Amino acid sequence: MNELSDLLDLRADAPLPGDDRLAPRRATLMEAIRKDGVRGRGAATRKPVSPRRRTFLVTGAGAAALAVTGAAITTLPDGTPAASGRQLLSPQASADALELAAATVEKSVTAEPGPRQWVYEKTTSLGWGNRSDVKNTWSDRDEQQTSEEWTRWDGTGAARLPGLPPAGDTSGFDPDELQVWYGPNREEQWRKEGYDDRSQRQFWRFLVTLPSEPGRMMRRIREEHAIGDIEGETRVERDWREVSVLHRSVLIPSNVRAGLFRSLARIPGARVERGVKDPLGRPAMCVSVRYDRRAASGWQGKQELFFDPTTFAYLGEVKRAAPAKLPAGFAGKGTEAIVSARAAWGVVDKPGARP
């Protein structure tokens, strides 16, 4: 049981404050950030920062202020400023960084594709081996696989490269030839059967119904069973799994993306790291939680989500499993981590086309 999450849920239906109420607090906050930035650049020592959590709405000017004072809010675990390289933000600075991400994506525009358009995604997957010489770096890869997939928006088509070999005789099979499948529209059938199977269009239309406020959003997601239940899973574990799965969607309405970042900020133990690289070596912002014990889902240790540090687009994830306790469906002798990265994505007019 997590008392903080339960307490926040009790107020999830409360109306959000208006600008008349937020404006004085926003001005006070930005003045405090400005002063912190001056102290961080010019003083030899820092004054203690109150551990109270500040909840605020970032305007365009506020986002710019956070960007220029980033060094002032970035700290190491002992509370001292981080000089360079990989930087673990304090819990408060992590919440501020996630609010900045939410405010940034909230201003973007994501349009719904037409029914005959295709969603394109190029992904790279790899894993680590359970060997004594593994140093937990991206160069210690056991196996790397890259694939491209196209999914028609109305759910009536799919395509893939490289192709999957057929059952039985594989003579003449060319994996570099684009495989395309078409079928009937099954959206009504999927709707009746629940949310485990659905077209891209159905999933989008579910997402657009979600409230922006993170408490109400997560409660609605749990009520709809957007992903399968796992026996024994805690509320915190469930929320992390829900948010990480939804972030992997190629197309997400802007208000929902913002709500997902604010939901991450509410997950106990979630921290932000700056100055990191994603699995493909790209600059990234990392959001992580740590399971000291094996979670009901089978994961254990540090679980990471990677985002573009400027646009906050999803880049990939690392999921570490408990020793010899990989979830069903993940084969591989001695594998301790599942690593995936999104190399490219977008909307195109036909299978085989790339953005």
Write out pLDDT tens, residues 106-123: 999 999 999 999 999 999
Is 137's pLDDT higher than 50? no
Q: Based on the fold, state whether residues 25 and 60 are members of the same structural domain.
A: yes
**Is residue 237 one of the residues assigned to a domain?**
yes
Band the pLDDT of 83: cuts 50, 70, 90: very low
Q: Based on the fold, state whether residues 167 and 251 are members of the same structural domain.
A: yes
- For the beta carbon of residue 230, count every other beta carbon within 10 angstroms: 15
Domain stop point among 52, 76, 106? 106
Q: Which helix (H) or strand (E) holds 244?
A: helix 235-247
Is 176's pLDDT higher than 50? yes
Band the pLDDT of 193: cuts 50, 70, 90: confident
Band the pLDDT of 199: cuts 50, 70, 90: confident
Give the per-residue pLDDT at 355: 94
Tokens standing for residue 147 = 């694939």
Is 201's pLDDT higher than 80? yes
**Is residue 6 one of the residues assigned to a domain?**
no
Average pLDDT over residues 86-107: 96
Is 332's pLDDT higher than 70? no
The answer to whether 327 and 298 are in contact (CB under 8 A) is: yes
The beta strands (E) that lie in 3-161 are given as: 87-88, 118-128, 143-152, 157-161
How many angstroms separate the CA atoms of 317 and 7, rounded? 30
Which is higher by pLDDT, 243 or 195?
Answer: 243
**What is this structure's pTM?**
0.71
Q: Based on the fold, state whether residues 35 and 179 are members of the same structural domain.
A: no
Q: How many domains does the chain have?
A: 2
Give the per-residue pLDDT at 4: 46
SS3 state of residue 282 = coil
Q: Which residues contact 147 (CB under 8 A, 6 or more apart)?
A: 122, 123, 125, 160, 161, 162
Q: Based on the fold, state whether residues 66 and 149 are members of the same structural domain.
A: no
Band the pLDDT of 151: cuts 50, 70, 90: very high
Give the per-residue pLDDT at 66: 36
Q: Based on the fold, state whether residues 166 and 259 are members of the same structural domain.
A: yes
In a 13 Å sphere around the CA of 144, the CA atoms on its Cβ side amount to 9
Average pLDDT over residues 142-164: 90
Q: Based on the fold, state whether residues 102 and 204 are members of the same structural domain.
A: no
Is 55's pLDDT higher than 90? no
Give the per-residue pLDDT at 200: 87
% of the chain residues with pLDDT over 70? 66
Give the per-residue pLDDT at 6: 52
Which is higher by pLDDT, 39 or 157?
Answer: 157
Band the pLDDT of 33: cuts 50, 70, 90: very low
Which is higher by pLDDT, 157 or 335?
Answer: 157
Q: Based on the fold, state whether residues 178 and 267 are members of the same structural domain.
A: yes
Domain stop point among 106, 127, 162? 106
**Is residue 29 one of the residues assigned to a domain?**
yes
**Is residue 13 one of the residues assigned to a domain?**
no
Q: Based on the fold, state whether residues 79 and 163 are members of the same structural domain.
A: no
97-101, 121-125, 281-285, 325-329: least confident range = 325-329
Q: What is the pLDDT of residues 271-287, one digit of tens each?
A: 999 999 999 999 999 99
Q: What is the extent of the structural domain holding 241? A: 118-348
How many angstroms separate the CA atoms of 121 and 345, rounded? 4
Q: Based on the fold, state whether residues 96 and 190 are members of the same structural domain.
A: no
Taking the alpha carbons at both ends of the chain, their separation in whole angstroms is: 45
Q: Based on the fold, state whether residues 64 and 160 are members of the same structural domain.
A: no
Domain stop point among 106, 133, 164? 106
Residue 354 burial by CB count (10 A; 0-12/13-18/19+): exposed, middle or buried?
exposed
Q: Based on the fold, state whether residues 199 and 67 are members of the same structural domain.
A: no
Q: What is the pLDDT of residues 291-300, one digit of tens each?
A: 999 999 889 9
How many angstroms separate the CA atoms of 115 and 284, rounded? 33
Q: Based on the fold, state whether residues 137 and 61 are members of the same structural domain.
A: no
* Average pLDDT of the chain, as a whole number: 76
Band the pLDDT of 127: cuts 50, 70, 90: low
Q: What is the pLDDT of residues 12-30, one digit of tens each?
A: 454 444 445 544 554 555 4
